[in-house]
Chain A
């Protein structure tokens, strides 16, 4: 009898945990969506800010986030892919692979604000790129490198060994096999990882605070050496700077809404693609 009571009690608490979690997150989504949705208009999405940030739109911030994200991916994708290929295709398990793997894991754990410090010291000051799209993209690119590598690794490991063996048996070299067989088959998986990383990069604030972002900029950036407005930083700045807190809060709701939509849609797409992909190779999701 006690056995049964314990079990029901235990299961009750487990269900409670998941309910509370879902509840908290739904409340968050509800507030941002319901209040943000009212702010959104065509003008809000396409116009520049007017009247000391109290009117107009946030188009420059949306464009800025787009540039920074694109820059980060352009920088980190080739390096991340090469790294994953080396780890999966070239080296047998060894001391070297372990070192590289441990450093990837640790790089993934470095706090985002520390990446910001690194970007400030190296890109902004030492290489003299200034507070710019370039500095911000490079900083974000380094930050997102570990997740690109692990996503690409997962995609490469999912390719059955027989694909490679068949190619090698036909007389193809290692590189030919990788280029013609392994990468094309792993491409959907790699893309999923990249899309998930885009979602992460788009929402990051701390790394761009000192390296790329600015609260107010007249018009759109013209070169990669310009500083930019960015959605996540704009939310922070609206809440902490400026002289019209009440109106700025509404605009911040609008920005949070847009950012959330971008990030959630991107990661939902990636998670769905991955589900399809995994079932194709008969792996557990």
Chain B
């Protein structure tokens, strides 16, 4: 039965599979190395401090200035704004699906939301640009419709299905016995939901929020099309209703016009490096929280 040939084939397959299993790790490390290699040369032109805290991004001036603070603040502004939209909507929808929806409503809505999560970001960006931005410009009486606010709104709507899906999964993991115990001591459905189910699924819901946030920070096409693209320092609350230029859209908008290997080229890669570490941080946080969640509820895998 065990011919020597089949045994060596077994070994070969085992090796091939284990080698290929590491491609994800290799790509992750590769991306990091490339970003370092292409991005670090910027510090021959600009000091680290004035790169990170410089208040002016004038890539076309002579001499050019590469301070990414306005870009970073724009990213933070748009992301936080998006959270105000996608957390209530996404988590609220997840609770609705889990708690209120009948089996039939749920079996329609859940796949529907999942399908909607697949709408490409370019379509959201296009929709924001041609419909939402003009509408906001008119109703809020703004000089331009493409603002940080518009970006937050569209990004938030875009991240809602993602947040909803993940949060709903987390709620699904809460054991039935938790609810039953709560009902048994006389709590009604709302009390059970807020005092038992949400705390039990809390870290799972936070994972959903962090992953939604990670998606919003890294989103490119939508913000490129709806935030207007002015690299100015936000200085007051009204900046929220003015055009901004987040980090991702700066890369996308300017990479086409750079010369390979120039300071501008390196500066854009350095922004990419910062984005990479930001999202890495979010993902590791999500990972740690969701692991704690699984241990708490005793779920394997």
Contacts and interface: CB of A to CB of B under 8 A. Distances in A.
Interface of A: 3-4, 6-7, 10-11, 13-18, 20-22, 24-25, 27-28, 31-32, 78-79, 82-83, 85-87, 90-91, 99-100, 102-118, 120-122, 125, 142, 145-146, 149, 171, 173-176, 196, 199-200, 202-206, 209-210, 232-233, 235-236, 239-240, 249, 252-253, 256, 259-260, 263-264, 267-268, 271-272, 275, 284-285
A260 B255 CA distance: 27
Nearest to A231: B122
Instruction: Kindly state the interface size class of chain B when it binds its partner.
Output: 35 or more
Interface centre among A120, A174, A233 (most CB of B within 10 A): A120
B275 A83 contact: no
A18 B153 CA distance: 16
B190 A10 contact: yes
Contacts of A209: 252, 255-256
Nearest to A112: B220
B205 interface: no
Interface in B137-183: 157, 160-161, 164, 172
B100 A11 contact: yes
Contacts of A85: 17
Given A117-B272, A175-B13, A285-B110, A86 B20 contact: yes
Interface in B193-228: 193-194, 211, 214, 217-221, 224-225
B260 interface: yes
B18 interface: yes
Contacts of A103: 24-25, 28
Contact of A107 (B27, B109, B157): B27
A204 B218 CA distance: 13
A82 B16 contact: yes
Given A102-B287, A236-B224, A271-B115, 5 more contacts: A25-B157, A85-B17, A86-B17, A199-B118, A271-B114
A261 B263 CA distance: 42
Contact of A82 (B21, B99, B219): B21
